[in-house]
Structure 1
Amino acid sequence: MTSPPSLVIFDNDGVLVDSEELSTQMLVDAAREYGPLAMELSEAMRLFRGRKMAECVAVLSERLGHPLPEDFTPNFRARQAEAFRHRLKPIPGIHEVLWEIRMPVCVASNGPREKIALALSVTGLLPFFEGRIFSSYELGTWKPDPGLYLHAAAEMGVAPADCVVVEDSVLGVRAGIAAGMRVLAYIAAGDAEEFHVPGVTRFERMSELPALLR
């Protein structure tokens, strides 16, 4: 029997906000403006889930056969922000979960702080995480490196062993494990991505999370 954690560290995309498919399809569509690109959404999700933007752009450039322009990323970020304002939704059940668990929480994401804050704001989640947002862009290390999770725990004053990470990507799961934290993998129903990592508990409905934290 595990004891309740002192801190729950949430990933953002795909865990708090339902942004993975929206952002990934937009990214592929944006790249197609620069040439033919044979890439289905399912493949793009596998390739890009949890990865930093520079790596995604490198993969797309390789597939296109030429580099994407330097302004590709800022232009995409602007489009993504506009889409978030009008179309982004929270993960079903996450509001209720955050009210129920009644324990310290923070968010640690590979995304830029501005993107994280916007996503949380438009979905009504920002009050749960105000002042407790940690971005890889501010630290200079990206998952699967454990640095972001270790930094978040240190800033929150909690030992890694007393933290639980809630993730939806293989890279994030590996980062949590490497940080010495307990990891819960949220795999939404119908998502085929597999986590072959010992000690990782998988769950398909956010409503299951409170029981897993007790």
Structure 2
Amino acid sequence: MRLPELVIFDCDGTLVDSERIANEVFASLITEEGLPTSFAECVERYMGRSASSCVSDIESALGRPLRTELLTLRTARVDERLAVELTAVPGIREALDALAGAGTAVCVASSSTPPEIAFRLRRTGLTEYFGDAVFSATMVPNGKPAPDVFLHAAREMGFQPHSCAVVEDSTTGVLAGKAAGMRVVGLADLVAPDALRAAGADQVVLKASDIPGALGYQVSAR
């Protein structure tokens, strides 16, 4: 198996354990807006997608514009909880250390905004792994499942898409990675392994510490 030259990580749910909180908050706000939405429905419909595409779908389902500043409220409520509850995904530092030890370049490509990504990495102590190599869907015309943010990240980092691998925890992100022509490892947590495989993930892992092995790196047995 050829090793990737660049590994592109999604942020929420892949690097930081924020997706459960974010989806709880978003489901509640969408329901308050007048569109009853459960946690599971929120995960299925909106997880991994850009904010603008989520708003478009919600307004389409409602048949009217939003009555509230839904995204502003979501950011405020999520940030309030993340400031207290946010942690790094278990095993992700182990995975990042293994990639650093192998000399493999890494970056972040997320549907979140640059300030949101910066806060999450800073709060969990992961900033040191990425520095300025952080890219947001707000930097490109189309969010996931379009491949734009992954292609932008590869281009800015100086790598061809076929030499890159993507690590994602959502079907939307997996679809985007495959559309970019990249190898994709799915990290199964809120989304079932079979759903990630059906979206096109080349490998699926249940623990972040298993990411290097799935990418083809030799990992010492523990």
What TM-score, normalized to structure 2? 0.86
Kept in 2, the 8 Å contact 1:146–1:175? The answer is yes
* RMSD between aligned residues: 2.1
1:99 equivalent to 2:63? Answer no
1:177 equivalent to 2:178? Answer yes
Q: How much does 1:65 deviate? A: 5.9
Corresponding residue for 1:82? Answer: 80
User: Sequence identity, in percent?
Assistant: 37
Distance 2:29 2:214 in 1: 39
Matches within 5 A, 1:26-105: 26-35=25-34, 37-61=35-59, 66-69=64-67, 71-102=69-100, 103-105=104-106
Matches within 5 A, 1:1-214: 2-35=1-34, 37-61=35-59, 66-69=64-67, 71-102=69-100, 103-188=104-189, 191=192, 194-195=195-196, 196-198=198-200, 200-213=202-215, 214=217
Q: How much does 1:198 deviate? A: 4.9
Distance 1:191 1:171 in 2: 13
> Per the alignment, do residues 152 and 192 of structure 1 end up closer, same or farther by CA in structure 2, a change over 3 Å counting?
closer
Distance 1:189 1:139 in 2: 27
Distance 1:161 1:197 in 2: 18
Q: How many residue pairs get matched?
A: 212
Distance 2:3 2:64 in 1: 50
Kept in 2, the 8 Å contact 1:163–1:181? The answer is yes
> Per the alignment, do residues 147 and 55 of structure 1 end up closer, same or farther by CA in structure 2, a change over 3 Å counting?
closer
Q: How much does 1:12 deviate? A: 0.8
Range moving further from structure 2, 107-116 or 204-213? 204-213
**Structure 2: gaps of 5 or more residues:** 218-222
> Per the alignment, do residues 207 and 114 of structure 1 end up closer, same or farther by CA in structure 2, a change over 3 Å counting?
same
Q: How much does 1:61 deviate? A: 4.2
Distance 1:182 1:111 in 2: 22
Instruction: Name the SS for the 1:69 alignment partner.
Output: coil
Q: How much does 1:32 deviate? A: 3.5
1:3-42, CA deviations, whole angstroms, 9 ceiling, x for partnerless residues?
A: 211110001111111111100111122233344x432211
Distance 1:61 1:193 in 2: 30
> Per the alignment, do residues 11 and 199 of structure 1 end up closer, same or farther by CA in structure 2, a change over 3 Å counting?
closer
What TM-score, normalized to structure 1? 0.89
**Structure 1: gaps of 5 or more residues:** none
Q: How much does 1:136 deviate? A: 0.9
